[in-house]
A = this chain, B = another copy of it.
């Protein structure tokens, strides 16, 4: 099957998200944030790197936790914006699986 497509370049695009009981609960924005939290070991460092406001980031995290009814991060207090922040098992599961699926999809979308 050879495409004609002389005039336009076709590219696949997708959106991926997780649902809990049929409702949106986790997507790319909060995944990128949690990934960075995991890397930096701190929410305040993570938001600085991805240039997101601390308040907005905290809201994204709280929304996921509200829907799941369990924490995705664990914070040790210390200083104004807390000391260390690490992901819970649930948080790590969400990031690892979202990233895994996204990578499969990105690879699939590289049309020959």
Contacts and interface: CB of A to CB of B under 8 A. Distances in A.
A80 interface: no
Interface residues of A, number: 42
Oligomer copy total: 2
Contacts of A90: 3-5
A63 interface: no
Contact of A14 (B22, B88, B105): B105
A36 to B, nearest CB: 18
Given A105-B108, A108-B104, A12 B17 contact: yes
B12 A69 contact: no
A4 B104 contact: no
A2 B97 CA distance: 11
A5 B18 CA distance: 13
Residue among A5, A10, A19 with the highest chain B CB neighbour number at 10 A: A10
Interface of A: 1-22, 25-26, 67-70, 88-90, 92-94, 96-97, 101, 104-105, 108-109, 111
